[in-house]
Each structure stands twice: as C-alpha cells, then as structure tokens.
Chain A
C-alpha cells in the first residue's frame, strides 16, 4: 500500500495493493465522521462512519481510523480493485443531525 500526506489530490495505487487515504478535520468538537466515495456523475456514496468515542471501525475491505489528538482521519481500503476508482471525501458533523462539513477530497487512481 501507499500512504500519502494530507491534502494530496491524487493517489495512484497498484491493483491488489492496499490504499490509505488521509484527512485532517477542522473542528475538535465534531462528534461523528464519515467517508464518502463519489464516482464520476454520481452523488457521494456512504462507505463507513465512526463516532468520536471510537478510534477504529472496520467494514467490508475498509477500515477507518480516528486520531482525535491530532484531528486526523484515515480510510484504508484492502486489496484495491478497479471499481474503487473515485474521489473520496472525509466529512464531519457536530452531531448526526447537523450539517456535514466535507474535506477537499482525494482522487484514487488504480493502476493495472
């Protein structure tokens, strides 16, 4: 896999490798965090979420890690597939009924 610095707009990963997408969030009072995937011409699609009282949550092929000390969120995708090509956004709310504040997004490009 390949880890990237914060705010890198594009991440290129070999098919089959693990991908790690990083994100810095802005509000230390945010209580709920979400990763969305957006494919071309589509709306954001929910991938995984995590509450501030957790530091790790796993889904199918995806893991989200939360470090509240440095206000950092990461998304790990195992065994990256061509269908994972998209722009990935981290997002935060103060509570789940609040507006969502989106990060800048990272484009994931899968190399054959």
Chain B
C-alpha cells in the first residue's frame, strides 16, 4: 500500500520563476493538504483540497495556488518565486470517509531551493 508520494524530491529555481509540485495521496484518501516547512521550523498550512476544490487556506499569498484532479492527486503552483520561498513543501492526505480518527499522512516532501 503506497503512502503519500511527492515529486520531484529536489528542485532548484531562480527568483521570478514558476514551479509546480506534485502529490499522490495515500490509497483510499480523498483530501490533500499542502504545508511549507522552512528550515528549523514546523510545517505551516498552505491550503487543503477536497472534491477538486480549495476547502481551506492558510496565510499565504495568491502566488500560491493549487489543483486537485479527479483521481485525488494534487499540484501546488507557486508563481514569481522569492528567495523566501525556499523550503520543504509537504503534502498530506486524509480520508473524509473514515469513521474513526485518522491523522493526516505526510509524504517526504519536495525540497525547493531558490537562487
């Protein structure tokens, strides 16, 4: 049973560029959340997708956008990259169908470096 998978694992971009990160949720999960983790910090919530729509959003600018596909996989897009966007981007999945508490499961992230 595959867990949450993210691609690519590492990425280097320059300021002003755009980037797309990808996530496949754990089998059976229908909800995907994205988090940004700066070095030495805890993950910060970016947004959550369910039924192909953004359901919740954290305190991130509109440069951060996302998408969820019918197969529940998701993309995170960041436009006009800034040096401060350098971080580990984590995807987490969960299921709304579970009747008991099921925590969000995380992938190993994409390490984004902005030069």
CB-contact partner of A96 in B44, B48, B56, B94, under 8 A: B94
Nearest residue in A to B90 (C-beta to C-beta)? A43
User: Are the C-beta atoms of A103 and B42 separated by less than 8 Å?
Assistant: yes
Given A42-B108, A44-B90, residue A99 in contact with residue B58 (CB < 8 A): yes
Candidates A32, A100, A104; contact of B101 at CB < 8 Å: A32
Whether the Cβ atoms of B42 and A89 lie closer than 8 Å is yes
CB distance from B46 to the nearest CB of A (A): 9
Whether A97 contacts B31 by the Cβ 8 Å rule is: yes
CB <8 Å contact, B109 and A43: yes
Which residues does chain A contribute within 8 Å of B90, judged by CB atoms? 43-44
**How many residues of chain A have a CB within 8 Å of chain B?**
23
Interfacial chain B residues near A101, Cβ < 8 Å: 45
Q: A43-B107, A99-B56 given. 11 additional CB < 8 A pairs? A: A32-B101, A43-B90, A43-B109, A44-B90, A44-B106, A89-B42, A89-B43, A97-B96, A99-B48, A102-B42, A105-B42
In the assembled complex, which residues on chain A have CB atoms less than 8 Å from the CB atom of B4? 43
| Contact status A104-B42, CB under 8 Å | yes
The 8 A-B pairs at the shortest CB distance, nearest first, are namely A102-B42, A43-B106, A99-B45, A43-B108, A44-B106, A46-B103, A34-B103, A102-B43
Are B92 and A100 neighbours in the complex by a CB distance under 8 Å? Answer: yes
Minimum CB–CB distance from A57 to chain B (whole Å) comes to 11
Bound CA span A46–B94, Å: 12
What are the residues of chain B within 8 A of A97 when measuring CB–CB?
31, 94, 96
Which of the listed residues B42, B104, B105, B108 has the most CB atoms from chain A within 10 Å of its own CB? B42
Alpha-carbon gap, A49 to B105, bound state (A): 13
Give residues of chain B (96-115) contacting chain A, Cβ–Cβ below 8 Å.
Answer: 96, 101-109
A83 contacts the other chain (Cβ, under 8 Å)? no
List 14 interface pairs A-B (beta carbons < 8 Å), by A numbering.
A41-B108, A43-B109, A44-B106, A46-B103, A46-B105, A97-B31, A97-B96, A99-B33, A99-B48, A100-B92, A100-B104, A102-B42, A103-B42, A104-B41
